[in-house]
Amino acid sequence: MDNLQGKTAFVTGGASGIGFGLAEAFLDQGMNVVIADIEEAALAKAKDQLARRSNAIHSVKLDVTDRDAYARVADEVTRIFGNLHVLCNNAGVASRGLVQNASYDDWDWTLGVNIGGVVNGIRTFLPRMLAHGEPGHIVNTSSMAGLGSSPGNVVYSTSKFAVVGLSEGLRKELSTQGIGVTVLCPAAVKTNFNRSARNRPDGLADTGTELSEEFYQLADKSFEGGTEPREMGEMTVAAIKANAPYVLPHQEMKASYQTKVNEILANWTTEPPDPKRVAANKYRQEAFAKINVKKGG
187-224 pLDDT, tens per residue?
A: 999 998 888 999 999 999 999 998 889 988 999 898 89
Q: Higher model confidence: residue 193 or residue 134?
A: 134
Q: Could you give the C-alpha distances from 36 to 10, 200, 229, 266, in angstroms and in order?
A: 8, 17, 16, 44
Contact 155, 112 (CB under 8 A): no
Which tens digit of pLDDT belongs to each residue from 19-68? 999 999 999 999 999 999 999 999 999 999 999 999 999 999 999 999 99
Catalytic residue among 70, 156, 216, 257: 156
Q: What is the pLDDT of residue 296?
A: 47
Q: What is the pLDDT of residue 297?
A: 46
Contact 182, 138 (CB under 8 A): yes
The CA distance from 119 to 91, in Å, is 12
Under CATH, to which class is 8-254 assigned? alpha beta
* 2 membership: H or E segment, kind and range: none
Q: What spatial distance separates the first Cα and last Cα of the chain, rounded to whole Å?
A: 23
Q: Is 246 a catalytic residue?
A: no
Which tens digit of pLDDT belongs to each residue from 158-180? 999 999 999 999 999 999 999 99
